[in-house]
Amino acid sequence: MDEYITINQVNVKDEHLCCAIADKKHQVGVELKKKWISERISEGHVFQKLNVQGKVFIEYAPLENAWVPIHGDNYIYIYCLWVSGSFSKKGYGDQLLKNCIADAKKQNKNGVCVISSTKKKPFTSDKKYFQKYGFNVVDTIDDYELLALSFNSTVPAFNDSARLQTIPSKNLTIYYGDQCPYINNCIKEIEEYCSLTNLNLNLVKIDSIEKAKSVPCVFNNWAVFYQGKFVSTILLNANSLKKLIG
């Protein structure tokens, strides 16, 4: 039988967190993620993974404590469900999602929710996959959708701040957190590129739940604005940034 491990205060230092595990340039980001998770566990944050050296995991939290601009009554929010490489199409994603749903019911939650999009985008959940489990669209902001599996008649919604999608500054502006291990290196590359090209850059670190709940756009752990407008939640490096502003 496959073994699933839930990260806790004891094993968080030693367990692989499944993403960015093979690339040394992301190791600082991995340590930042471990620190972020260890500070969230007491708030109900869950990171569950298959006991393998690969990207097979789900990460979720009570919506009240989730660092996203979404509100709802007694819901679970899924940050990420990721199964890749040789582990895909073997039922691991199904089992991880079933575990999450079962956990939500055990905690007497009203449902489970996740951010998706009308068309599949990188770093957003696959809408069709979640619909197979009964998730429905309950709120939208342009191409982004909030999906929910409700156990009763209640549904969550995006906060009003997330609907703004504009900021006063015309500079390249990035809202980011420490939750994703890829982000640290992305910020490093972007800072170097902006310095070389004299591109004005504003970095807004989301280091509290209050900031996360009031981000002026759809946000999971990363969001990009340019010319005052929300661009995307897709992680950038120097090459993708060049294309974005080109």
| Per-residue pLDDT reduced to its tens digit, 19-74 | 655 667 888 998 999 999 999 999 999 999 998 877 899 999 999 999 999 999 99
pLDDT range class, residue 157, cuts 50, 70, 90: very high
Which pLDDT belongs to residue 244?
A: 87
User: CA 246 to CA 107: how far, in whole Å?
Assistant: 48
Given a cut of 70, whether residue 1 has pLDDT beyond it is no
Which pLDDT belongs to residue 15?
A: 84
For the chain, the structural domain boundaries read 162-245
**Whole-model pTM?**
0.94
Which pLDDT belongs to residue 76?
A: 98
Lowest model confidence (mean pLDDT) among 99-108, 193-202, 232-241: 232-241
| Per-residue pLDDT reduced to its tens digit, 114-129 | 999 998 877 788 999 9
Q: How far is CA 207 from the centre of its chain?
A: 15
Q: φ, ψ for residue 69 (rounded to 5)?
A: -80, 60
Given a cut of 90, whether residue 107 has pLDDT beyond it is yes
The three-class DSSP label of residue 82 is strand
Mean pLDDT of 185-190: 96
Which pLDDT belongs to residue 221?
A: 95
CB 114 within 8 A of CB 77: yes
Q: Which CATH class is domain 162-245?
A: alpha beta
Which pLDDT belongs to residue 88?
A: 82
Which pLDDT belongs to residue 22?
A: 61
> Could you tell me which residue, 87 or 210, shows the higher pLDDT?
210
Q: What is the mean pLDDT of the chain?
A: 93
Which pLDDT belongs to residue 19?
A: 63
Which pLDDT belongs to residue 155?
A: 97
The three-class DSSP label of residue 166 is strand
Alpha carbon of 108 to those of 26, 78, 150, 220: distances in Å?
37, 16, 12, 24
